[in-house]
Structure 1
Amino acid sequence: MVSKFRSPDNKVLLVLFLGVLMGALDIAIVGPALTPIKDYFGAASRDMTWVFSIYILMNLVGTPIIAKLSDMNGRKKMYIASILLFSAGSLVVASAPSLSIVILGRAIQGFGAGGIFPVASAVIGDMFPPEKRGRALGLIGAVFGIAFIVGPVVGGVLLMISWQAIFLVNLPIAVLLLYLAVKYIPSSSPRKKVPFDWAGMIVLSIMLGSFVFGVNQLDTTDLISSIVSTKVLPYLVASILLLFFLIAIEKRSVNPIITPILFGSRQLKISHTLAFGAGFCEVSLVYLPMLAVASFSISPSGSSFMLIPSVLALSVGAPTFGRLLDKIGSKKVINFGTACLTVGMLLLAAFVSNWTMFFISTVIVGFGLSALLGAPIRYILLNETNEQHRGSAQGLMTIFTSTGQLISAAVIGAIIGSATNPVAGFSTAYLIIGVFSLALVLVSTRLKPK
């Protein structure tokens, strides 16, 4: 594809915004449906974990593949393909006669959703000059905060109809999106045809699958024994060995799915580290309702509302930091974000039983995450890569973020599960995340100035 900036169009931004919102909402509203799905099929509670796990796995696998295909075949085609896959998966889930088919549908959904955000970010890189990318990325990044505010409410309303309605609602949205995408997203000339990296795709898929499966089998109440068990260790070892095998394959490939050039500069290496760290810290939000139940004796149903301050901060912070990127550059924004994360996490660790400090610290954490998860890291990647590798770079960032999330969930779960006093366990977990965030502050100082 020939790299040149096209006239940015608010209609294109709207199409990208709605696509990312559809994928993000599906994460936020599916939680309330788990119990009705379990009761509907008479499934075991342990089997229900696969409704989430298979989505994460296929999302992780689909991201680099669709991102690479968007570099080869054009953004528009792959954005439309991602929406079609996601909506097809939604239809499979809603019409499923058994839990196995539900899980199959979630796998299709996850694979399709894996392409929506990276391809949307790459479209912004193609259309906007560097000085205007931050604002556009900030608007897209704010989608996740909006989804987590609106999602539980939408889910509750749709559940009054049926659990199938939660998935069927994606279909009319997808039809509208397909129409808008065909009409407004500009077509781009595909690059000269080169062989697709099938060997890299297969090894990458097996490697990520082994890693996700192994992590999901961890028993967080006895982490060390669990790691060395036959349910976990073989899969983790296999994923490590396959990583070295993948590196060897990609170095020899004429069109690698994970391009070695994406690790070439210091700026890119720091971005990948920050993406991993952002994912690691993001999981802390998931445990805030549990902390509220343990510390303040709130009911489980009411504890989810304790996320509202941090999610509101994330929703406001994402577009704000996006605009600041264009004015002051990524280094200052990320320095501020990692500092907020550090302060917020350490305050949470120190005042786990104080209502006022709980809300103050979660707002600070929300602002910190919005300076990492939304636009800033993607902004660096867009500016450090050319159009030929832009989609692949966005996909690689998602892999690092998801890996951080998986490892963090296992670590935090182990700390909380092994603590005799749950509140003390949460304090220790957030202290560790705070120290980890401090390390991210030091890493971010190595970014180059604007």
Structure 2
Amino acid sequence: MLFHKGGGGTGIEIIDVEFVAHAAGLFGRLMEKNYSLQAGIDMPLYSKREIVLTMAGVLMVMLLASLDQTIVSTAMPHIVSEMRGFDRYTWVTTAYLLTSTVMVPIYGKLSDLYGRKSIFLVGIVLFLAGSALCGMSPSMNALIGFRAFQGLGAAALLPIAIAVVGDLFTPRERGKWQGVTGAVFGLSSVIGPAVGGWITENANWRWVFYINLPIGLLALLVLIFLMPSLTTRGNTSITIDYSGAALLILGTSALLLGFTWAGSTYAWLSPQILGLMAGAGITLITFVWVEGRKEHLNRQPIIDPSLFRNRIFVISVLITMAANMSLLGSVFFLPLFAQGILGISATDSGLLLSPMTLTLVGSSIISGQIVSRLGKYKMIAIIGMLISVLGAAMLLRLNVNANANDLWSAMIVLGFGTGFGMSFYSMIVQNALPDKLGQATSALTFFRQIGGTIALAAMGSVMAASYRPTFHQSIPAPTRQLLPTKVIALFDNPNILLSHDIQSTVLKQFTILGPQGMIEYRQLMHAVRLGLAQGIYNTFILSLAFMLISLVLVFFLEEKPLQDRRSNSTTNPAADHTSINSPPVILH
């Protein structure tokens, strides 16, 4: 499989400043309500200064964590070359993905039990320590191990950051901030490759990891001294679900390894892949049974099976999984199309994605405002999904004859639809399950990441399987007869389109044949473009299919009016965020 993302763009510190300034200014205009219910009287629970500074730190952490998921990929070819570890190329990503995914629901549950702040800070410290260790890695194996360690911290950052928004604001107010937080994640997905490319081209690759430290330390200090503890009441006895955590880690790891290795390291129907899938299925079924028993005995499972009795939660999980599978598949291969088919440089391909960034950020903020004002979300979700489907369909127009304008128009529409319709599902879930904010939010993040991982693995296999047959079918018969098989084999990897060094080396061999050699070289390069274009086109078909599934599912999403006051609970006096007598969170 070949994955390559382009570089170029501005520095990461400028992005942070812009987002923090925007968030602070927006909050200054929007902070009109933040109430707890005490004796029937609305009383401000937090000062404006506390919330503005807390959200500034939270947004920095969200940008930091989500950028790290994409920024490293651009530097990987250089890292692998320097450390001579091409055979372990995928493990740098796989190790991080495994630990960061399987720990998400565990951190979410712990934050419900012990409070957001303590778990949040633990995650930041682990993430920063892992970043420093990755930057100092002396070998490829060390880098793989340190990336896994970094993932242990990263798993706490995004889901708890979103849960903090749920703690600080009433459901209806959350829409105003969910738009901003959704925009942070969407922006990072697009600009991460550009930032990574800029760092790789203008500094040592180790700064891809070191750049996390100043931003993370600033966010850490802000949160330590200015963030409320967000400690929940009602948890008089706390038990840790060790068996559930072990089963979840084993089952999810086997599942992700199966999809990561299938079609690349091993065949899809090989004993290794079938064994991993079977083991994952058995382990996860056991996990569900164990968690059900523990919930019945009130022993605080990692994921309460009762979550899946809530229709809003289930539909939201399915929508975000399918939509994320579509979006990640599209975004991941767009730089490859820009560089390999359109011939755009790595730096310029990073800048080429800026229209999608702008529309995604803008529409995310706009939809968050609309949802907060109306107190309803279903129609906005439907409109956003329709636009996203149109954008995904426009990607099918991209072929070897396409130009940059075709790519721009598709990205603008896709970015607008994604930002408009996908930025508030955490808020929807929090509104439906106010007594399980951390657990519900982290579970939503967990399943979304699982979906994205599976989709990327599947799309990568589809692209790799499509390239070679199309390439060989596109070679003219006279060329196939004239050139030895070993010469044609040089083009079996489309990496030749992305590497000027490889092109120069191969071109020198063909110049020996004179003018006819140049003709044969151009024909082979055209066949490579056709093969790559067909492989990427097939991934875009899958991307559209996933988006259509999301569109169908969104019509089954139940409309539950967003609360503009913190809800009461008479059935569960110990529940987080619901008791009249106990404030949802306690300031220390």
Q: Give TM-score scaled by structure 2 length.
A: 0.71
| Counterpart position of 1:270 | 315
The gaps in structure 1 that reach 5 residues or longer are none
3-state SS of paired residue (2:357): helix
| Aligned-partner residue type, residue 552 of structure 2 | L
Which is greater in Rg? 2
| Counterpart position of 2:213 | 171
Q: Distance in 1 between matches of 2:381 and 2:333?
A: 24
| Counterpart position of 1:316 | 362
3-state SS of paired residue (1:186): coil
| Aligned-partner residue type, residue 31 of structure 1 | S
Shift of 1:216: 1.1
Shift of 1:156: 4.4
Aligned 8 A contact 1:214 1:232 in 2: yes
Aligned equivalent of 1:429, options 519, 529, 539: 539
Q: Distance in 1 between matches of 2:179 and 2:414?
A: 17
| Counterpart position of 1:188 | 230
Matched, 1:78 2:119: yes
Deviations 1:201-241 (A, max 9, x none): 00000011101111111226x9xx82211231111111111
Shift of 1:368: 2.3
Aligned equivalent of 1:261, options 302, 306, 316: 306
Quick one: percent identity of the two aligned structures? Answer: 28
3-state SS of paired residue (1:398): helix
Shift of 1:150: 5.1
Aligned 8 A contact 2:187 2:361 in 1: yes
Deviations 1:50-100 (A, max 9, x none): 111111111101211111110000001011111011011012112222222
Q: Distance in 2 between matches of 1:154 and 1:294?
A: 20
Q: Distance in 2 between matches of 1:359 and 1:292?
A: 10
Q: Distance in 1 between matches of 2:256 and 2:172?
A: 38
Shift of 1:315: 2.0
| Counterpart position of 2:386 | 339
Shift of 1:102: 1.3
Q: Distance in 1 between matches of 2:77 and 2:542?
A: 33
| Counterpart position of 2:554 | 444
Q: Distance in 2 between matches of 1:315 and 1:330?
A: 18
Deviations 1:276-331 (A, max 9, x none): 11221122111112223454343455434432222222222222222122124221
| Counterpart position of 2:272 | 231
Q: What are the residue-to-residue correspondences of 1:394-413 with 2, within 5 Å?
A: 394-413=441-460
User: Which is further off, 401-410 or 49-58?
Assistant: 401-410
More helix by share: 1
3-state SS of paired residue (1:96): coil
Pick closer, same or farther for the CA change 1:434–1:161 going to 2, 3 Å.
closer
| Counterpart position of 2:338 | 292
Aligned equivalent of 1:306, options 344, 352, 355: 352
| Counterpart position of 2:402 | 354
Matched, 1:57 2:106: no
Q: Distance in 2 between matches of 1:96 and 1:428?
A: 37
Aligned 8 A contact 1:385 1:393 in 2: yes
Q: Distance in 2 between matches of 1:297 and 1:172?
A: 36
Aligned 8 A contact 1:333 1:376 in 2: no
Aligned equivalent of 2:175, options 134, 151, 156: 134
Shift of 1:155: 3.4
3-state SS of paired residue (2:556): coil
| Aligned-partner residue type, residue 260 of structure 2 | N
| Counterpart position of 2:250 | 206
Pick closer, same or farther for the CA change 1:154–1:307 going to 2, 3 Å.
closer
Aligned 8 A contact 1:87 1:170 in 2: yes
3-state SS of paired residue (2:89): helix
Pick closer, same or farther for the CA change 1:229–1:345 going to 2, 3 Å.
same
Matched, 1:13 2:55: yes
Aligned 8 A contact 2:112 2:437 in 1: yes
Q: How many residues align?
A: 442
Aligned 8 A contact 2:357 2:415 in 1: yes
Matched, 1:378 2:488: no
Deviations 1:109-152 (A, max 9, x none): 11211111111111111110112101111111221344356544
| Aligned-partner residue type, residue 170 of structure 1 | N
| Counterpart position of 1:100 | 141
| Aligned-partner residue type, residue 310 of structure 1 | M
Shift of 1:335: 0.7
| Aligned-partner residue type, residue 424 of structure 1 | Q
Q: Give TM-score scaled by structure 1 length.
A: 0.92
Pick closer, same or farther for the CA change 1:151–1:269 going to 2, 3 Å.
closer
The gaps in structure 2 that reach 5 residues or longer are 1-35, 38-43, 471-530, 562-588
User: Which is further off, 157-166 or 122-131?
Assistant: 157-166
